[in-house]
A and B are shown apart, each in its own frame.
Chain A
Amino acid sequence: MAKYPFIQEAKEWVKNEKISIEEILNDAVYERARIRAVERVEEAMEHGIINNAGCINQTDCMMEIFSYPIARMIVVSIESDFLLRRYALAEAKKAYENLKNENREIIEYIAKEFAIEIKNGTIHFSDYLKYAPTWDIRWKLVNRIMNKGYIQLSYREITRLLQEAIRKKIQNELFYMFSPPDVKKIFNEFIIKMKNKLALKGDKKFEGEASFKDFPPCIKNLISAVKSGINVPHVGRFTLVTFLNAIGMPLEEILKIFSNSPDFNEEKTRYQIEHITGRISGTIYSVPKCSTIRTWGLCEPDELCKKVNHPLFYYRIKRRKK
């Protein structure tokens, strides 16, 4: 439970302890839980993942469990969507690291929390689609062995899906959560410190105007498709985001381009862009090569295309000519 404080069982346990929020926030007995809560938020912010705390005896474990709801209250009080998402991901990654070393029963137990049924190492494609990072070619449904609706996965892969399920769950909960006003007073110093850090972080500077007319045709097509509200396949969006990120376009600008898609969901799109561009995940996905773009059916080459094998080269050549 201490390792997975987001599960229903842990919530019930906290409820049954019948300790009031005031006590948790003020009583000296819970000082350790509060310190650990700050640590959780800080680690999420700094490293994007939360480390395990040693849980040697029962009190340790208790403090660890209590630290989770406190950390959530702090995150909500900082009032930054960026931190909120980053924290949810950090908690999910922590769970992932732990789940990797668990036996199948535990993994299956956690999966059940998310109504995912594991049948002899297979899961239903609808559960898979909800949580798989399908912007990554290896995770595309088409590259999975699917039989009668069920997909064969390794337990490691299932664990990866659970990470996403956990992240979504925590993030959704936080979005709709209100924090008691006391939290702001008690953690005032820490909250201000975090707010300042977030303000400094911002987006990296966008060097020089991106000039759309220097973009290769595939990227131009994608932009005009997205802007005019045509549904663009996943791989197309992926290509576009990696490209715009590589030339240094700020996140907000990229988001703006997508805001015309028919199924635009700011929250979801922002998360995906942040993920692909490494802002919250740490892995920056690179721009696909021309040959890959071609197999995805997105390539409509012009003269210059014949001389390059990567969309970024195209852009650089065009820019250098000036």
Chain B
Amino acid sequence: MNFLKKKFYEYYLHPDIIFPPRFDRREFAFFFFGEDMMRRHISFKDKEKFIYYLKANVPKHVYYSSAYYRQPDAETMAKKQWMGADLIFDMDADHLPNANKMTYEEMLLKVKDEMIKLLDFLIEDFGFKKKDMALYFSGGRGYHCHVFDKHVIELGSQERREIVDYITARGLDFSHIIIEKNIYANYYTTSTLEIMPSQPGWRGRMARGIISFLREIKKMDREEAIKKLMKMEGIGKKIAVSIYDGLDEEKMRRIEEGKIDQMPSIRRLLKPLINELAVVLHSSTDEPVTADVKRLIRLPGSLHGKTGLKVTKIKLDRLDDFDPLRDAIVFGSDLTKIDIMKPFKIKMMEREFDLKKGKTKVPEYLAVFAIARGFGKIF
């Protein structure tokens, strides 16, 4: 048995699996060590049998279906008979722009930022209750959020796509954000522009975003502020100057009340600000998997075969403090001999490691990680 499989076996003797609701209606799928075909269409009637299966087979990766079926082990979709599916957001570094330029730790941090934004949308806008949501570290390069709310279970993929479009602001119409109002007074009409920070939904979110951005700009000194403004898409020097110079106390006060008619150039801020407020779920071509009503997702409590980290549950309000390279580690710190083939630096269990090529001894958890990632081998 190779080192990794042996370690996985030790874990699966007493795994701490978190079973999804309607566990017996799900399809399970596995990758095994030394195989590159996924084994699918497996289902389990009871939890003991499942745990036994893990012990007996020691899978490299474990997945289950977000959907539940009348016959989860049938081989075709038609025979499976779809009954419903959880709503799942898979926030992976793969979906981020520039992911290949970041270190593992940077990627995880960036994905966490996106997840924090997403949770706010799900709770504030969609009204999901915390008890109907679960948050997991994926064991790899991202986070998963599962929603079990009864309202979403039966939604089809087109409806789910609308939810994705909502959180990513795709198709957002700016005339819903900056409201043009006609005022009739003394035989003539004027129009005013308004934003509404106290409103819910995107209208309020964008309005508050504009206000806090302008506050921030106002605090900066002139040169720095103009530089920052000009970095934004569609803003040139002239507009940057006019925005910064226009921001006196009185104007700022009016803007905070939503009255922006004296600063029509605020319109220009909308597009760049959207990118900060919306959730970045995908690169330009890769449509997120959330809309898929029959996808496979990693099982919470199982190990990720390419890191050795555990798919770990995170309390919704503890995402901020969560450190995957501390909290998702299941292996101990006994020193283990390893031959590093590809040098790398990493912080694990709050210890900094700088591994050079060649033979060395490291804590077991790091050995597992390095081998799973293909950075080293046992000798």
Name A's B-contacting residues (CB within 8 A): 124-126, 129-130, 134, 137-138, 140-150, 225, 230-235, 262-263, 268, 295-297
List 7 extra interface pairs beyond A148-B200, A149-B126, A232-B287, CB under 8 A: A141-B163, A141-B166, A142-B165, A146-B126, A147-B124, A230-B285, A233-B287
Interface centre among A124, A130, A137, A143 (most CB of B within 10 A): A143
Closest chain A residue, CB of each to CB of B196:
A145
Residues A149 and B127 in contact in the complex (CB < 8 Å), given A124-B151, A231-B291, A297-B284: yes
Q: Is the CB of B173 within 8 A of A230?
A: no
Interface centre among A142, A149, A150, A297 (most CB of B within 10 A): A142
Residues A149 and B173 in contact in the complex (CB < 8 Å), given A231-B287, A232-B287, A263-B156: no
Closest chain B residue, CB of each to CB of A263:
B157
Interface centre among A126, A262, A297 (most CB of B within 10 A): A126
Pick the contact of A137 from B151, B173, B201 — CB < 8 Å?
B173
Residues A235 and B170 in contact in the complex (CB < 8 Å), given A129-B159, A146-B125, A263-B156: yes
- Residues of chain A within 8 A (CB-CB) of B201 are 144-147
Q: Is the CB of A147 within 8 A of B127?
A: yes
Which 9 pairs of residues, A with B, have the shortest CB-CB distance?
A: A149-B127, A147-B200, A148-B127, A126-B151, A129-B159, A145-B201, A263-B157, A141-B162, A231-B287
- Residues of chain B within 8 A (CB-CB) of A143 are 171-173, 176, 202
Q: Is the CB of A142 within 8 A of B169?
A: yes
B128 interfacial by beta-carbon distance below 8 Å: yes
Name B's A-contacting residues (CB within 8 A): 124-128, 151-152, 155-159, 161-166, 169-173, 176, 199-203, 284-285, 287, 291-293
Pick the contact of B171 from A129, A263, A268, A296 — CB < 8 Å?
A296
Q: Is the CB of B200 within 8 A of A140?
A: no
- Residues of chain B within 8 A (CB-CB) of A130 are 155, 159
- Residues of chain A within 8 A (CB-CB) of B199 are 145
Residues A141 and B151 in contact in the complex (CB < 8 Å), given A147-B127, A234-B158: no
Pick the contact of B165 from A141, A145, A225 — CB < 8 Å?
A141
8 A-B pairs with CB atoms under 8 Å apart are A126-B151, A137-B171, A137-B173, A142-B171, A143-B176, A147-B124, A295-B171, A297-B170
Closest chain A residue, CB of each to CB of B173:
A143
Q: Is the CB of B161 within 8 A of A233?
A: yes
Q: Is the CB of A138 within 8 A of B173?
A: yes
Query: Nearest Cβ in chain A — how far from B86, in angstroms?
Result: 14
Closest chain B residue, CB of each to CB of A225:
B285
Closest chain B residue, CB of each to CB of A300:
B284
Q: Is the CB of A140 within 8 A of B162?
A: yes
Query: Nearest Cβ in chain A — how far from B294, in angstroms?
Result: 9
Query: Nearest Cβ in chain A — how far from B188, in angstroms?
Result: 29
For the complex, give the distance between the alpha carbons of A43 and B171 in Å.
37
Interface SS of chain A: mixed
Query: Nearest Cβ in chain A — how far from B282, in angstroms?
Result: 10
- Residues of chain B within 8 A (CB-CB) of A141 are 162-163, 165-166
Query: Nearest Cβ in chain A — how far from B143, in angstroms?
Result: 21
Residues A142 and B161 in contact in the complex (CB < 8 Å), given A124-B151, A148-B124, A231-B287: no
Q: Is the CB of B171 within 8 A of A235?
A: yes
- Residues of chain A within 8 A (CB-CB) of B292 are 231, 262
Closest chain B residue, CB of each to CB of A237:
B158
Query: Nearest Cβ in chain A — how far from B379, in angstroms?
Result: 44
- Residues of chain B within 8 A (CB-CB) of A145 are 199-203
Q: Is the CB of B176 within 8 A of A296?
A: no
Query: Nearest Cβ in chain B — how far from A134, in angstroms?
Result: 5
Query: Nearest Cβ in chain B — how far from A44, in angstroms?
Result: 26
Residues A142 and B151 in contact in the complex (CB < 8 Å), given A231-B157, A233-B170: no
Residues A149 and B171 in contact in the complex (CB < 8 Å), given A231-B292, A233-B161: no
For the complex, give the distance between the alpha carbons of A147 and B125 in Å.
5
- Residues of chain A within 8 A (CB-CB) of B203 are 145
Q: Is the CB of A140 within 8 A of B124?
A: no
For the complex, give the distance between the alpha carbons of A268 and B157 in Å.
12
For the complex, give the distance between the alpha carbons of A130 and B160 in Å.
10
Q: Is the CB of A149 within 8 A of B287?
A: no
Query: Nearest Cβ in chain A — how far from B83, in angstroms?
Result: 16
Closest chain B residue, CB of each to CB of A134:
B162
Residues A263 and B293 in contact in the complex (CB < 8 Å), given A125-B126, A129-B159, A296-B170: yes
Residues A142 and B172 in contact in the complex (CB < 8 Å), given A125-B126, A149-B126: yes
For the complex, give the distance between the alpha carbons of A146 and B156 in Å.
20
For the complex, give the distance between the alpha carbons of A138 and B128 in Å.
24
- Residues of chain B within 8 A (CB-CB) of A262 are 157, 292
Query: Nearest Cβ in chain B — how far from A224, in angstroms?
Result: 11
Query: Nearest Cβ in chain A — how far from B290, in angstroms?
Result: 10
For the complex, give the distance between the alpha carbons of A143 and B201 in Å.
9
For the complex, give the distance between the alpha carbons of A32 and B162 in Å.
46
Query: Nearest Cβ in chain A — how far from B74, in angstroms?
Result: 18
Query: Nearest Cβ in chain B — how far from A236, in angstroms?
Result: 9
- Residues of chain B within 8 A (CB-CB) of A147 are 124-125, 127, 200-201
For the complex, give the distance between the alpha carbons of A134 and B291 in Å.
15
Q: Is the CB of B202 within 8 A of A263?
A: no
Closest chain A residue, CB of each to CB of B152:
A126
For the complex, give the distance between the alpha carbons of A230 and B292 in Å.
11
